[in-house]
């Protein structure tokens, strides 16, 4: 139903099975119909893929990626992993939990993108510490490239002390293809679930700024699926300067194909990435995202996050309301996680007005 070339699907499965992998995530994640949200919007039919429920440290999409990244690291004898991003980073939270599961040391260099507010031990930072990560908080350097150098500096210090170090993001961007592989695998999982439920997927929406959408894009094109993939980034510009999101996704999708030994021909023109819903910038909540958070919570009992999934859902809701998605289509929303950040962003959610007294 959702695949046009079964032999290509088999080839992809075989290639995935040959990669080193450490089993970390609770898979498959649920595939659920959002009846009340669909009715509220008067179509389309909305389904949700719950990758917020992958397990470790309250879940999220990154755990799938660490199955492959750390699976390879285990084979290489790595004992220490260094990474860095923003203080409320989902990547770093799930990396810290994955390292704990595998008995690796995890060092995080976290950038205070919200100033003093990011010094509060709350949300993702709280969980980083709870699972044993060694955390260094630094002032916002202004660019991801400069922050990457801070991560590499920490890695050099640890290597000099005799540690077998893996430098993860944003210190080393060379493993993006391996990160994307996880969502090539997730594509097959989703299609199996949809086929079992008798659901023809017309569109697949998600928040992605790089590897998640790239892995999906590679797999969907490789197996010749008719599903339309729509991504909405959480930042106005890619981490790689001078590139468009479409170019970045296509490049990473092709590297994903190379990692799998399957090759690829994904082009920028194959990619749909909508930046209309980012708002003022990364980690700055928009009014539309606030509404999406409250609407999905009230109607479905599902918690989105304030940085990523709420902005993507805001885009989906807007496209549904304005008739840009046909009312009879089946749309799957991939929930990539990030829910712990709700606690760190509580004062920006506009919930005070809901209290009595």
State the number of CA atoms in the 13 A half-sphere of 107 facing the CB: 21
| Residues 6 or more apart in contact with residue 277 via CB below 8 angstroms | 232, 286, 288, 289, 311, 312, 314, 315, 318
The end-to-end CA distance of the chain, in Å, is: 53
| Residues 6 or more apart in contact with residue 322 via CB below 8 angstroms | none
Nearest CA to 135 among 74, 100, 93, 79?
93
**135 phi and psi angles, rounded to 5 deg:** -110, 130
Local structure of 205: helix, strand or coil: strand
Distance CA 59, CA 52 (A): 5
List of E strands, 75-211: 80-86, 105-112, 134-139, 165-167, 203-207
Nearest CA to 171 among 153, 145, 151, 155?
151
DSSP-assigned states of every residue in 168-185: -TTT--TTHHHHHHHHHH
Nearest CA to 219 among 68, 17, 5, 1?
5
Tokens 């086929």 correspond to: 195
As given in the structure block, the two tokens for residue 308 are 């990523």
Q: Which helix (H) or strand (E) holds 129?
A: helix 123-130
Asked if residues 182 and 62 have their Cβ atoms less than 8 Å apart, the reply is no
Known catalytic residue at 89: yes
Say if strands 134-139 and 105-112 run parallel, antiparallel, or are unpaired. Answer: parallel
Q: Cα–Cα–Cα angle for 188, 190, 196, nearest 5°?
A: 100
Length of the chain: 357
Which residue among 89, 175, 208, 283 is the active-site one? Answer: 89
Q: How many CB atoms lie within 10 A of CB 27?
A: 16
Catalytic residue annotation: 89
């Amino acid at each position: 139903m959702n695949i046009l070339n079964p032999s290509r699907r088999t080839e992809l499965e075989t290639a995935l099975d040959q990669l080193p992998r450490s089993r970390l995530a609770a898979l498959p994640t649920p595939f659920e119909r959002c009846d009340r949200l669909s009715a509220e919007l008067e179509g389309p039919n909305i389904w949700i893929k719950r990758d917020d429920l992958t397990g470790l440290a309250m879940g999220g999409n990154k755990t799938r990626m660490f199955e492959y990244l750390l699976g390879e690291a285990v084979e290489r004898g790595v004992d220490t992993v260094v990474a860095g991003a923003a203080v409320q980073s989902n990547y770093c939270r799930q990396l810290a939990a994955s390292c704990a599961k595998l008995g690796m040391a995890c060092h995080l260099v976290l950038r205070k993108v919200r100033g003093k507010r990011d010094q509060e031990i709350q949300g993702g930072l709280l969980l980083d510490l709870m699972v044993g990560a060694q955390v260094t908080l630094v002032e916002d350097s202004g660019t991801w490239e400069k922050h990457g150098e801070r991560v590499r500096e920490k890695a050099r210090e640890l290597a000099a002390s005799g540690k077998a170090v893996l430098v993860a993001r944003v210190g080393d961007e060379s493993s993006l293809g391996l990160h994307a592989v996880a969502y090539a695998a997730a594509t097959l999982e989703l299609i199996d679930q949809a086929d079992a439920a008798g659901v023809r997927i017309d569109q697949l929406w998600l928040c992605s700024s790089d590897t998640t959408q790239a892995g999906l894009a590679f797999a969907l094109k490789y197996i010749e699926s008719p599903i339309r993939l729509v991504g909405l980034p959480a930042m106005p510009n890619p981490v790689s300067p001078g590139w468009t999101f479409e170019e970045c996704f296509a490049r990473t999708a092709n590297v994903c194909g190379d990692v799998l030994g399957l090759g690829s021909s994904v082009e920028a023109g194959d990619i749909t990435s909508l930046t209309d819903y980012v708002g003022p910038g990364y980690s700055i909540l928009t009014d539309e995202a606030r509404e999406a958070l409250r609407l999905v919570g009230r109607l479905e009992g599902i918690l989105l996050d304030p940085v990523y999934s709420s902005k993507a859902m805001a885009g989906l809701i807007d496209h549904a309301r304005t008739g840009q998605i046909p009312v009879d289509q089946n749309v799957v929303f991939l929930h990539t996680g990030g829910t712990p950040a709700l606690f760190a962003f509580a004062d920006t959610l506009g919930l005070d007005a809901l209290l009595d007294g």
